[in-house]
Amino acid sequence: MIAVSTWLVTHPACLEHDTSSGHPESAARLRTIIAALEDPIFEFLIREEAPMATREQLEGAHDPDYVAEILASVPDSGYTHIDPDTLLSPHSGEAALRAAGSVCHAIDGVFQGKAQRAFCAVRPPGHHAEADRAMGFCFFNNVAVGAAHAVEQYGLGRVAMVDFDVHHGNGTEQISRGRSRFNYFSTHQHPLFPGTGVPSQDSPKNITNATLADGDGSERFREIFAGSILPAIDQLEPELILISAGFDGHRSDPLATLRLDETDFSWATRELVAIARQHCNGRVVSVLEGGYNLSSVGRCAAAHVEALMM
Sheet holding 159-163: strands in order across? 46-49, 6-10, 117-120, 284-288, 240-245, 159-163, 182-189, 207-212
Active-site annotation, residues: 128
Per-residue pLDDT, 29: 98
Q: How far apart are CA 214 and CA 227, in angstroms?
A: 19
Q: From first to last of the 310 residues of the chain, give the pLDDT tens digit.
A: 556 899 999 999 999 999 999 999 999 999 999 999 999 999 999 999 999 999 999 999 999 999 999 999 999 999 999 999 999 999 999 999 999 999 999 999 999 999 999 999 999 999 999 999 999 999 999 999 999 999 999 999 999 999 999 999 999 999 999 999 999 999 999 999 999 999 987 789 999 999 999 999 999 999 999 999 999 999 999 999 999 999 999 999 999 999 999 999 999 999 999 999 999 999 999 999 999 999 999 999 999 999 999 9
- Residue type at 241 in one-letter notation: I
Total residues belonging to the chain? 310
Query: Cβ–Cβ contacts within 10 Å for residue 236, how many?
Result: 19
Per-residue pLDDT, 249: 98
Predicted model pTM: 0.98
For residue 86, give the 3-state DSSP assignment: strand
Q: How far apart are CA 113 and CA 220, in angstroms?
A: 37
CB within 8 Å of 78: residues ≥ 6 apart: 89
Per-residue pLDDT, 4: 82
Q: Helices 142-154 and 92-111, interaxial angle, to 10°?
A: 40
